[in-house]
Amino acid sequence: MANPKIFSTKKLDPALAAAARQHLELAEADAIAIELIRTTEKEAELKARLQTANLDVAFTSAHAAEAIKPFINDGALGWNIFCLQGKTRETLMQPGFQAIGTIRGTATDAAQLAEAIIDHGVERLVFFCGDRRRDELPQIVRSAGISVEEAVVYRTVEIPVYCDGPYDGLLFFSPSAVHSFFSSNRPDGNTVCFALGATTAAALSSATPNRIVTANEPSQQAMLDAVTHYFDQTNNNK
């Protein structure tokens, strides 16, 4: 049987893409682009934050972590960090980030991360995010009486792409990518949509009636594993 034909709305890590092409027919295109906010005012804000000790902070995006990296100095800040698993946590584990603090809690989606923040007894939270961040985390923690200050450090720009299908599966890594993709595409009804996490799956359920499969954790490897597992099971049941 022919390898499943897959379209990813994000260009994958080259090593992962090369390995995937051993058993998948894979096409890739970025449906969104990330622009770090680098105004004079924003840089001054980030420099001030990176001099403030003992903050409770949250990250639901690796882009937000990368945005603050140039402003990290050598002084230990003692931050309590809460972040999503997968790429976000991996980024915050890179050399340089250890100076700002310690990861105190992780989760596979924003709602679970909010509960971890609440359980930790946080009173005031700084949420590093993008201009199109989802509502789940700030809404849940605010409902628990926690003060939330949002630091918007990047913008998400949609790049409409045309998917020359049909494809057996589509990979989506964010709600913004879902919106961008479906603004110019209507996939075949048999096409399976794979979501990085619960929030992306929710965006897909609003955009299409197609079958949705959610990865076990928010990482590119987990997404590719979900694709392999799904089509292996499908073929075995035929």
**Correct CATH for 35-156 of 3.40.50.10090, 3.40.718.10, 3.40.50.300, 3.40.50.11810:** 3.40.50.10090
From CA 5, how far away is CA 26, in angstroms rounded?
6
| Positions of CATH 3.40.50.10090 in the chain | 5-31+159-236, 35-156
pLDDT band at 1 (very low <50, low <70, confident <90, very high): low
Label the pairing between strands 212-214 and 124-130.
unpaired
> pTM (2 decimals)?
0.84
From CA 101, how far away is CA 72, in angstroms rounded?
11
CATH number for the domain running over 5-31+159-236:
3.40.50.10090
Give the pLDDT confidence of 72-114 residue by residue, as tens digits. 987 789 999 999 998 899 999 998 898 899 999 999 889 999 9
From CA 120, how far away is CA 115, in angstroms rounded?
9
User: Pseudo-torsion of CA 76, 78, 82, 83, nearest 10°?
Assistant: 10
Give the pLDDT confidence of 206-218 residue by residue, as tens digits. 999 999 999 998 8
Label the pairing between strands 32-36 and 147-158.
antiparallel
The answer to whether 230 and 171 have CB atoms below 8 angstroms apart is: no
